[in-house]
Amino acid sequence: GESVGLHLPTLSVQEGDNSIINCAYSNSASDYFIWYKQESGKGPQFIIDIRSNMDKRQGQRVTVLLNKTVKHLSLQIAATQPGDSAVYFCAENMFPDMRFGAGTRLTVKP
Amino acid sequence: EAQVTQNPRYLITVTGKKLTVTCSQNMNHEYMSWYRQDPGLGLRQIYYSMNVEVTDKGDVPEGYKVSRKEKRNFPLILESPSPNQTSLYFCASRKTSGFAYEQYFGPGTRLTVT
């Protein structure tokens, strides 16, 4: 089956900077995407989602952008804080399944 | 509080000794699922259940069994564990009505098979 992938396995940013985490997907028919955050020792937590009929969706300090032309998804975190350090997963809905990327580890330097 | 619980959180066992990892959710979700997480591979689905008495294989079902006798519980059974089943396991649940498919994950069970 098709899978969701991530461009970079690790990302290190300075506290206060903006972070951008990327995701490439291969199933052009996918209609829904989710970003999850996984902190050490915990299960993944929902951050934000986006439907395929949208290009952009904003939450609190987070923005997800969807480019269906190149099948690319990104998560932007504004004013990154130490508490944002975690692994971030892009997930693609293939009901009833979900397909998850391997994740990007975000490290925030003080 | 809406949550998915798993037990045990940590388990070390030996090859061939049957074990069960329990999973319970209090959100009345129809859909439940088990994943394993291994370094560099992301979450891979083992089994899922669309509702009571309805289960189906995911991507990596070999060596695992599940049951769904009640809506809230979805135990994962390893009849004869082997070292290649050493992994971090997550149970998840979500509703199946509506469009949003947000899954709620349990805290994880770290299993080591020696």
- Note the pLDDT tens digit of each residue in B65-96: 999 999 999 999 999 999 999 999 999 998 87
The size of the A-B interface in CB pairs under 8 A is 53
Contact in structure between A102 and A87 (CB atoms under 8 Å): no
For residue B9, pLDDT over 80 is answered with yes
Confidence grade of residue B61 (pLDDT, cut at 50, 70, 90): very high
Q: What is the arithmetic mean of pLDDT over B109-114?
A: 98
- The DSSP letter of residue B73 is B
Mind telling me how many Å the CA of A97 is from chain B's nearest CA? 8
| Band of residue A26 on the pLDDT scale cut at 50, 70, 90 | confident
Is the pLDDT reported for residue A3 higher than 90?
Answer: no
pLDDT > 50? residue B57: yes
Note the pLDDT of residue B88.
96
Distances (CA, A) of A33 to A47, A89, B93: 11, 10, 17
The alpha-carbon gap from A110 to the nearest alpha carbon of chain B, in Å, equals: 27
Q: Region A30-44: what's the mean pLDDT?
A: 92
Average of per-residue pLDDT values in chain B: 93
Nearest CA-CA distance, residue A101 and chain B, Å: 6
The answer to whether the CB of B75 falls within 8 A of the CB of B6 is no
The answer to whether residue A80 scores a pLDDT higher than 80 is yes
∠ at Cα A48 (A13, B41), nearest 5°? 70
Contact between chains at B42 and A98 (C-beta distance less than 8 A): no
The arithmetic mean of pLDDT across residues B29-48, rounded, is 91
A56 in B contact zone (CB under 8 Å): no
Element at A93 (helix H, strand E): strand A86-94
**A1 confidence band (pLDDT: 50, 70, 90):** very low
Return the pLDDT at B100: 62
- Does residue A49 have a pLDDT over 90? yes
Residues of B in contact with A102 (CB under 8 A): 40-42
- The answer to which of A36-45, A48-57, B27-36, B95-104 has the lowest mean pLDDT is B95-104
- Asked if B101 has any chain A CB less than 8 Å from its own CB, the reply is yes
Select from B31, B101, B107 the Cβ nearest to the Cβ of A43: B107
The CB density around residue B74, as the number of other CB atoms within 10 Å, is 29
Give SS3 for B30.
coil
CA distance A21 to chain B (A): 16
Which chain B positions have a beta carbon within 8 Å of A43's beta carbon? 4, 90, 92, 105-108
Q: Are B30 and A79 in contact (CB under 8 A)?
A: no
